[in-house]
Amino acid sequence: VSSSPGDTELKPRQEQPAAEDAFISIQAFPALLDLPQDLEVSKVSCGSRHTAVVTRGGELYTWGWGKYGQLGHGDDASSDQPRRVEYLVAEGLQAEDVVCGPWTTYVCMLE
C-alpha cells in the first residue's frame, strides 16, 4: 500500500506499562470518558501520554502512561481509568489548575 506525504491513518497504539496484567491504550483521537456523576470538571490538560483534570471541588484526577510518576500516585503505574490523587486529599490541599508537559504534571494548589 502506498501513501502520499500527509496521508495519515489514526490507529490506537498499545503501551505495556509496569503492571504485568494491564495495557494502556494510547489514542491519537478524542475518546469519551466516564467520571463519577457528581464530578464537574473545571480544568483539563493533556501531556504526550497522560491526562489530568481538576474538578470544581478542587480534586485532581489523572490517567494514562505513568512511567515517570507524572500521574502523582506515588508510583510509576499506568492507568486507563481516572484516579483521584489521594496525596492532595490527605494533605488538605485543593487543586486550582493543572498543566501537563510531555512527561510531567504541574499543579497549582490552594491550602
Total residue count of the chain as it appears in this document: 111
Per-residue pLDDT, 25:
61
Q: What is d(CA 46, CA 105) in angstroms, rounded to the nearest whole number?
A: 9
Per-residue pLDDT, 4:
46
Per-residue pLDDT, 109:
94
Per-residue pLDDT, 76:
94
C-alpha cell, 107 = 499543579
Q: What is d(CA 81, CA 57) in angstroms, rounded to the nearest whole number?
A: 19
Q: pLDDT means per 10 residues in the chain (111 residues)?
A: 45 46 61 79 93 96 94 93 94 97 94 81
Per-residue pLDDT, 16:
45
